[in-house]
Structure 1
Amino acid sequence: MTTDTQLRGELLAELHRLRRTVPELTGCLVASTDGLLIVDDADMVVAEGVAALAAACLGVSQRIADSAGHQDFQEVLISSTGGHVAMYMAGNGAVLVLLADHRANVARLHHEARRAITVVARVVAAAALTFSQAIPEPARW
């Protein structure tokens, strides 16, 4: 059985790969869809706060997309004079958040993020399976 530490290590390795591949990244993190921080590689931000806000932003954005009749919501990009915040759904249970400075190539950011979300989704799904296997069966009376 894969341990929680091993799964977090896989996620952290993917975040490190992203930071090496896209040098304009100032941070990245993985959160649950309910806003709990899973793992981060972020400097100069309160990762827990970003995780909670990103999950809320994605939830609202998904509802807007649904209201507009669009299916399969995928991502949100916030651009400002200081940089970009890109948030991606990663499977059913996770959010990938990338923080980049204003010089970042947004197309490259999206390209690398799409590769990363396949890894994040796989690891989070494995973690959910590991967790469900660890829960004892309920007593049957």
Structure 2
Amino acid sequence: MTTDTELRGELLAELHRLRRAVPELTGCLVASTDGLLIVDDAETVVVEGVAALAAACLGVSQRIADSAGHEDFQEVLISSTGGHVAMYLAGNGAVLVLLAGAEANVARLHHEARRSIAVVSRVVATAALTFSQALPEPARW
């Protein structure tokens, strides 16, 4: 059985790969869709706050897409004079958040993030399976 530490290590390795592939990234993290931080590779940012806000933004964005009659919500990009925040739905229950400087190539950011979503989705699904296998059997009366 894969341990929690091994799964977090796999996620962290993917975040490190992203930072190497897109040097303009100032941070990246994976959070649950409930807003809890799972793992991060970020500097100078309160990652727990970003995780919570990203989950809230993702939830609102999904509802907007649903209300507009669009299916299969995927991502949100926030651009400001200071840079970009990109959030991607990663499987069932996780969000990948990328923080980048204003000079970042957004197309490259999306391209690399979409590669990472497959890894994050797989690891999060494995973690959910591992967790469910670790639960004690219900009492039989």
Residue of structure 2 in register with 1:36 after alignment: 36
Q: What is the letter of the counterpart of residue 30 of structure 1?
A: V
Aligned-residue CA RMSD (Å): 0.3
Aligned match of 2:81: 81
Residues in 2 aligned to 1:139 and 1:92: alpha-carbon distance in whole angstroms:
28
| Gaps in structure 1 of 5+ consecutive residues | none
Alignment correspondent of 1:93: 93
Q: Which residue of 2 aligns with 1:7?
A: 7
Report the 3-state secondary structure (helix = DSSP H, G, I; strand = E; otherwise coil) of the residue aligned with 1:97. Answer: strand
State the distance in 2 between where 1:56 and 1:84 align.
17
CA distance in 1, matches of 2:13, 2:71: 31
Query: Which whole-Å CA distance do the structure 2 matches of 1:132 and 1:58 have between them?
Result: 25
Shift of 1:140: 1.1
SS at match of 1:99: strand
Q: Deviations over 1:71-93 (max 9, x none)?
A: 00000000000000000000011
Runs of 4+ in 1 over 3 A off after TM superposition: none
Alignment correspondent of 1:140:
140
Share of identical aligned residues, percent?
A: 89
Length-normalised TM-score, structure 1: 1.00
Aligned length: 141
1:127 maps to 2:127: yes
Aligned with 1:39: secondary structure? strand
Gap regions ≥5 residues in structure 2:
none
Q: Tell me what 1:19 maps to.
A: 19
Task: Kindly provide the amino acid, as one letter, of the partner of residue 26 in structure 2.
Answer: T
